[in-house]
Amino acid sequence: MTVDGSRPASTARRGRPGYDQQSVLAVAVAAFNRHGYEATSMGMLAEELGISKSAIYHHVPSKGDLLRLALDHALGGLESVLQDPGAHAGRADARLEFVLRGTIAVLTERLPFVTLLLRLRGNTEIEREALERRRAFDREVAALVDAARHEGSIRKDIDPRTTTRLIFGTINSIVEWYKPGGPLTAGKLSDDVIHMVFDGLHRR
Amino acid sequence: MTVDGSRPASTARRGRPGYDQQSVLAVAVAAFNRHGYEATSMGMLAEELGISKSAIYHHVPSKGDLLRLALDHALGGLESVLQDPGAHAGRADARLEFVLRGTIAVLTERLPFVTLLLRLRGNTEIEREALERRRAFDREVAALVDAARHEGSIRKDIDPRTTTRLIFGTINSIVEWYKPGGPLTAGKLSDDVIHMVFDGLHRR
DNA sequence: CGGGCTACCGACCGAACGGTCGTGCAAAAA
DNA sequence: TTTTTGCACGACCGTTCGGTCGGTAGCCCG
């Protein structure tokens, strides 16, 4: 039986109705996040979908492809933030804030997909490729931090690599607790993170 | 063959020399962190130890017990921070800073063990029990954040639950990149985190 | 030098894994 | 109504999983 009501993409399609790749993917990603990718068997997935294990292979060639599709969606979102003009115009300070806000936006909009990405351990080739794309993203942000530091916008008593890692740690940890649709909007969360990271928690 | 040179606890023991439980545990935890707990088979573990799979069961009754032993070590360290007098004396502000510094210290000293703890997904009963102990720890720190807020030491425009989660996100993410013995000492790292979290990255 | 202690080996087990294959069946298009 | 299209089924394959068992090998102490 189906755990949630996420059946097909309602747009009229021919043939016997049922799941399509997107809806299978959504359920799969949720399961991967709940139990971990390796710990999620195709049998468990089939049970949650309410179909047989072999039926899954009608929608996707392998378990690894489910992972690849999900990671592509997450990475595509992050990479598009860096391609926005806002990431290349103005002071490094402002560019950095733009990218961080954009990252948080992607993270909340594609929450389950990014969550999956951030929990990879690099066991398979698919995971290692995704991790490399993610590291490339991190490097671009690190360059922004460096620029903002040289510009004099950011304190110099903390090593820039440490700075970058702490920023990413703060932002990436959002996937561990943020619930879209709750009282905390993505916009307010974005403001909160920017305030803490740049101005600190102490009262002025 | 052995991957690293961490054989027995050198203290003279009777009988045939080889691994003891502690040294097996150390290698196991490292492997769990490298591949993920579920993705690490007892066969892989045996290969890394340089002994047969069945020999592992001489040192520990099950794979789950390896996990439990490791998590106990991590949680014990964290819980002892809260039992220190420094966590109960003085202003909430200072108590909070004390606990955060203590947490970072435990995290760096018992790095692989805490890393394992922070990556749990709650698949098994063992994991769920550990997660509950970890949540209890988090709740105590959240209470400190609340107290510091009421005291007026901490800004009020961010929800205290958000504040707590961002703090933990920042601190916990340290396990993903910190390398003991490198140029960044645990003390300097502690200072950096406290500076960013309370005073922000912007130049004053 | 022999007994006791500790560490280890290799063959094996039932269950679960990811994945394949041939077939059945429902609904939209013709 | 017939054809086409696409979803799903269930039996099955080779492999690997965590774990068991009976026996062996090396070391210290008396």
pLDDT at B69: 95
Q: Give pLDDT, residue A23.
A: 86
At residue B84, the pLDDT reads 98
In this predicted model, what pLDDT tens digit does every residue of B110-152 receive, in sequence order? 999 999 999 999 999 999 999 999 999 999 999 999 999 999 9
CB A81 within 8 A of CB A140: no
Using one digit for the tens of pLDDT, what is the confidence trace for A150-160?
Answer: 999 999 999 99
Per-residue confidence band for A3, with pLDDT thresholds at 50, 70 and 90: very low
Would you call A124 an interface residue with chain B, using a CB distance cutoff of 8 Å?
A: no
Query: What's the confidence (pLDDT) of residue B10?
Result: 41
Q: Taking residues B78-97, what's their average pLDDT?
A: 97
Tens of pLDDT, residues A113-151: 999 999 999 999 999 999 999 999 999 999 999 999 999
Q: Decide if B154 and A193 are in contact by the 8 Å CB cutoff.
A: no
Determine whether the distance from the CB of A101 to the nearest atom of strand D is below 7 Å: no
Return the residue matching tokens 């933990």.
Answer: B168
Shortest CA distance to A119 belongs to which of A32, A40, A16, A4? Answer: A32
Determine contact: A151 vs chain B, CB below 8 A. no
Protein CA at B85 to nucleotide C1' at C14, angstroms? 53
| Distance of C1' in C3 from CA in B27, Å | 33
Residue A159 — left, alpha, or beta (φ > 0 → left; ψ -120 to 50 → alpha)? beta
B177 vs A: CB within 8 A: yes
Q: How confident is the model at residue B13 (pLDDT cuts 50, 70, 90)?
A: low
Summary mean pLDDT of chain B: 92
Its pTM stands at 0.92
Confidence grade of residue A8 (pLDDT, cut at 50, 70, 90): very low
Indicate the pLDDT class of residue B5, thresholds 50, 70 and 90. very low
Q: Residues A172-191: pLDDT tens digits? A: 999 999 999 999 999 999 99
- If 0-12 CB within 10 Å is exposed, 13-18 middle and 19+ buried, where does residue B115 land? buried
B155 strand D contact, CB < 7 Å? no
The residue whose CA lies nearest the C1' of nucleotide C6 is B15
- Comparing A196 with A4, the larger pLDDT belongs to A196
Protein chain B, residues 48-67, with a C-beta closer than 7 Å to any atom of nucleic acid strand C: 50-55, 58-59
To the nearest whole angstrom, how far is the Cα of B173 from the nearest Cα of chain A?
A: 5
* pLDDT(B53) > 70: yes
**What percent of chain A shows pLDDT beyond 70?**
91
| A156-161 contact pairs (CB < 8 A, 24+) | A156/B203, A157/B195, A158/B192, A158/B195, A158/B196, A158/B201, A159/B184, A159/B192
Tell me the two tokens of residue A30: 């949720």
- Contact at CB, A202 and B198, closer than 8 angstroms: yes
